[in-house]
Amino acid sequence: MEFFQHKVVIVGSGFSGQCAAINLINNGISDFVILERRSFTGGTWCQNSYPGAAVDVQSPLYSLSFEPFPWSRMFAEQSELKQYTNNIIEKYNLKDKIKLNKNVQKIKWDNLERKWNVIINGDKNYKAQFIINCTGPLSTPVIPNFKGKELFEGESFHTNNWNQDYDYHGKRVAVIGSGASASQVIPTIAPDVETLHVFQRTPHWVLPRPDRVFSKIERKLLGIKSIYKLVRYAIYWGLETRMVGFKYSQWMMKNVPQRQAMWHLKKQVENEELRKSLTPDYTIGCKRIILSNDLLKTYNRNNTHLYLRENGIKEINKRGILTTQGKQVDLDLIVYATGYDATDGVISYPIKGKNNLNIAQVWEDYPRAYVGTTLPGFPNLFLSCGPNSGIGHTSAIFIIESQMNYIIDAIMKCEKNGFKTFEVKSESEERYTNKLHKEMEKTVWHKGGCNSWYKSKSGKVIAMYPGFSFSYHLMTRKVKNEHHIFS
């Protein structure tokens, strides 16, 4: 079998992959490639192009700390995020490093060579000493298996694969789901479609979105590194205080943000019955909070109809959707805003480590990893955005940058000291995971009374980190030698 040989293979060219690559370059490692399964670079913000797509964290914080950008508004829209990510690829000359249409099928540790074999179907394979998996936790869209969905004669697609060639104006449209993606699509398309039918299984808590357009002067200032840093710190500490509520105080969650969400709902929806239908029965924060100034009031529109769980989808037929109460809803377009396989699908390809150890078996109960990044039995394998490294209250990019400190420190320790492998000790991983899940039991994600993509099928919260993001940052600043084996 023929192989391309590299020191590092990065899988995925989104923010994590770019951040990993820049860190390698800054540390003098140029022998790496980025394998990207799609035909374009950039990851989630290039893939998700549904109407209304925008970031739900303040853009100056939802960006790389060392790359200031004159954002046009507080919550950037998809086109601007796409521009930002493409600028980074250009500025750091990553284009030549990114190999497109390389869909990794599996990776396997070779104990003799002490390297990973990266298998790509029908193509030349890769061999690497280190793998950094940067495939993102929300990249595998899920369309539930509704009875008869293949019979529908209209158009249908997932929000992740929005068909830009389809003109939805004046059409009869259904949106299935009411999460973060749906909440952006719904208010954006409602004024332009003939009828909009929203199938909501569970209501979500909605808070006002503190969005605004930045003035010319503000944009200029954001381009200055020191000011950009100051703005980031201000936003960061404001958001970090939210963690006190997520972690320690259900009382606080119920009495501060939940009251604000109730007030927001009352202000936007006059009809009491409709308000009731849009009121969740779990504690705010248990599912991701939606920030929107126009979602709730969209339900006041005459062309917008809300279907609840008790009148949900019985089946899909050639004309549209038949509800459980027997109503036939005729449609031209069905939009599946039904989320992602984020729990049991953290990595989208099989991995075999030392002694043929299968990651699927290790994760049979639930996905786990030391600081969300490394696993015993899988030397030189690093996961960006791995299990329990999500953060509900600040920016995922802050976490990605923190993980890269740990990953690069491990690789550089090997490089400088002539070690071939790096592996976390199993007792360290076990102690870390047990402590983390004990902490998790105090959080709203665990005991807030909801089901969410944060949880595995076994009911464990495996997407989130149950602490402050600064504590995660401190924990991952450097590799702690006592928890690892270098050889």
Find the shortest distance in angstroms from Cβ 317 to ligand N01.
Answer: 16
Stretch that binds ligand N01, among 94-102, 229-237, 332-340, 407-415 (CB under 6 A): 332-340
Q: Could you tell me if 393 and 239 are in contact, meaning their C-beta atoms sit under 8 angstroms apart?
A: yes
Q: Which residue's CB is nearer to ligand N01, number 144 or number 238? A: 144
**DSSP secondary structure string for all residues of 195-263:** EEEEE-SS---EE-----BPPHHHHHHHTSHHHHHHHHHHHHHHHHTHHHHHHH-HHHHHHTHHHHHHH
Q: Which helix (H) or strand (E) holds 23?
A: helix 15-26
Segment 191-250, which members bind ligand N01 (CB under 6 A)? 201-202
Q: Which residue's CB is nearer to ligand N01, number 278 or number 337? A: 337
Distance CA 402, CA 29 (A): 19
**Burial group, residue 90, by CB count within 10 angstroms (0-12, 13-18, 19+):** exposed
Q: Which residue's CB is nearer to ligand N01, number 290 or number 351? A: 290
Distance CA 487, CA 380 (A): 11
Q: Which residue's CB is nearer to ligand N01, number 144 or number 459? A: 144
Collapsed DSSP state (helix, strand, coil) of residue 167: coil
Q: Which residue's CB is nearer to ligand N01, number 42 or number 177? A: 177
Find the shortest distance in angstroms from Cβ 420 to ligand N01.
Answer: 38
Stretch that binds ligand N01, among 53-61, 64-72, 187-195, 253-261 (CB under 6 A): 53-61
Segment 154-193, which members bind ligand N01 (CB under 6 A)? 176-182
Distance CA 429, CA 422 (A): 14
| Binding-residue total with ligand N01 (CB under 6 A) | 21
Find the shortest distance in angstroms from Cβ 136 to ligand N01.
Answer: 10
Q: Which residue's CB is nearer to ligand N01, number 426 or number 451? A: 451
Q: Which residue's CB is nearer to ligand N01, number 339 or number 448? A: 339
Does position 339 interact with ligand N01 (CB under 6 A)? The reply is yes
Q: Which residue's CB is nearer to ligand N01, number 201 or number 483? A: 201
Find the shortest distance in angstroms from Cβ 146 to ligand N01.
Answer: 7
Distance CA 70, CA 269 (A): 36
Q: Which residue of this chain has its Cβ atom nearest to ligand N01 in the complex?
A: 179
Six-digit token pair at 246?
Answer: 């997520």
**DSSP secondary structure string for all residues of 391-436:** -SSS-HHHHHHHHHHHHHHHHHHHHHHT-S-EEE-HHHHHHHHHHH
Stretch that binds ligand N01, among 3-11, 48-56, 222-230, 293-301 (CB under 6 A): 48-56
Find the shortest distance in angstroms from Cβ 307 to ligand N01.
Answer: 10
Find the shortest distance in angstroms from Cβ 178 to ligand N01.
Answer: 4
Does position 377 interact with ligand N01 (CB under 6 A)? The reply is no
User: Secondary structure of the chain: what % helix, strand, coil (to 5)?
Assistant: 35, 20, 45
Find the shortest distance in angstroms from Cβ 215 to ligand N01.
Answer: 24
Does position 74 interact with ligand N01 (CB under 6 A)? The reply is no
Stretch that binds ligand N01, among 268-276, 278-286, 323-331, 338-346 (CB under 6 A): 338-346
Nearest residue to 57 (alpha-carbon basis) of 325, 341, 393, 382: 393
Q: Could you tell me if 60 and 71 are in contact, meaning their C-beta atoms sit under 8 angstroms apart?
A: yes
Q: Which residue's CB is nearer to ligand N01, number 6 or number 393? A: 393
Does position 144 interact with ligand N01 (CB under 6 A)? The reply is yes
Segment 438-457, which members bind ligand N01 (CB under 6 A)? 451, 453
**DSSP secondary structure string for all residues of 287-306:** SPPEE-SSHHHHTTSTTEEE
Does position 374 interact with ligand N01 (CB under 6 A)? The reply is no
Distance CA 329, CA 321 (A): 5
Instruction: Tell me the backbone φ, ψ of residue 112, rounded to 5 degrees.
Output: -75, -50
Residue 413: CB partners within 8 Å, gap ≥ 6? 419, 422, 479, 486
Q: Which residue's CB is nearer to ligand N01, number 149 or number 413? A: 149
Find the shortest distance in angstroms from Cβ 450 to ligand N01.
Answer: 8
Find the shortest distance in angstroms from Cβ 123 to ligand N01.
Answer: 31
Q: Residues interacting with ligand N01, by CB under 6 A?
A: 54-56, 138, 144, 176-182, 201-202, 288, 337-340, 451, 453
